[in-house]
Amino acid sequence: MITITLDKQQSRVLLDMIHVAEWVYNAHKPYDEGNKEVEQCVGHINRQLYDQGFKSDFDLDHNNEISIRQERLDECIDIVNEYTKDRFWDHLAEYLAERDLREQFSETELRNMDNETLFDHQLKIQDRYFEEFETHGIDNLIIGSSLPGFLKDS
């Protein structure tokens, strides 16, 4: 058994952290396929915090099961959404730069390129995308518009 001593503020931060982590572990999976070990750990920490006086952060159902109050969960989801929105631009620029590198260089050239040179090329391309996204968002992004029937109603 491990004992960790936290003050009230640290306990609230821990509560947010574990629910953000649970969301990251399970949100992309069907409801009944969540990571059971994570769910058990979160349930255990919820119970400990509830028993230590954080009752206002939780709901208790008729089976004596504890769950985080929806308002608190919404705050955790806001944290995840803020992170996701921020990372979206990084991922998009990275994926587009990788695509552009594959179009600019042959597979052999890319394979023979040292990591520093490859990274330098990729960063230059990503920087151009970052500037574009900062100025125009996705307004100038066109996906497959030249493909016949692409995303047209059937």
Angstrom distances, CA of residue 11 to CA of 7, 16, 46, 65, 131: 6, 9, 10, 20, 40
For range 74-96, the mean pLDDT: 92
CA dihedral 148, 149, 150, 153 (to 10 degrees): 170
Position 20 pLDDT exceeds 90: yes
Position 151 pLDDT exceeds 50: no
**How much of the chain exceeds pLDDT 70, in percent?**
94
DSSP state of 4: -
Residue-averaged pLDDT of the chain: 89
Burial class (CB in 10 A: 0-12, 13-18, 19+), 92: middle
pLDDT the model gives residue 145: 56
- Are residues 122 and 101 in contact, defined by beta-carbon separation less than 8 angstroms? yes
Q: Is the dihedral of CA 106, 108, 111, 113 positive or negative?
A: negative
- Are residues 31 and 21 in contact, defined by beta-carbon separation less than 8 angstroms? no
Residue with tokens 């030249």: 146
